[in-house]
Chain A
Amino acid sequence: AQSVTQPDIHITVSEGASLELRCNYSYGATPYLFWYVQSPGQGLQLLLKYFSGDTLVQGIKGFEAEFKRSQSSFNLRKPSVHWSDAAEYFCAVGGSSNTGKLIFGQGTTLQVKP
């Protein structure tokens, strides 16, 4: 069965520091992988997605993620965090040919210290 694990429930980083949010997935075939961000009072917004090809994916707001098949991981990174990046981040996996449903991880809450 498909599953997504985000090992870190809560992360705190200083503004300007680098960030890496971890995501591990379990999926039998080649997955489609997504990172979404959810700010308080706002809906989920897509940061980036991986379907195939280059394993390093660039997204919005300066985020990138790297797909590593051997590690079943799709970690999200940003070289320099801004205070406005404080939010909840969700990794999701999809890929069934019959449905586009996404399986989400439980999320990582990012706090940014000034």
Chain B
Amino acid sequence: QVQLQESGPGLVKASQTLSLNCTVSGGSITSGSYYWSWIRQPAGKGLEWIGRIYGSGDTNYNPSLKSRVSMSVDTSKKQLSLNLRSVTAADTAIYYCTKVSGLHDAFDVWGQGAMVTVSS
């Protein structure tokens, strides 16, 4: 079964770019049966969908973040990447990488999450 592991800096300075990777194991990163999403959660708050990416590289982003976010797939490394530009304290959160069932459009596998703090 697919497992996900996020990695990246835990501390990012304001106005810089937040970059995270998600390593996929136990399954294909380009399967047509599922795709991938990033979701974040500020401390003590709810979940926010950031965007999704297919193994082909096609993407959809949350309109509220669209101007600052980009996602990509590295099939050779079996890694997904998230970049969020011009970060502020409001971007401090746990960032989750998820697998999305293509048949049911549900987030059925979650990584453990990566805590990212934006410092001034």
Q: Do A and B bind each other?
A: no
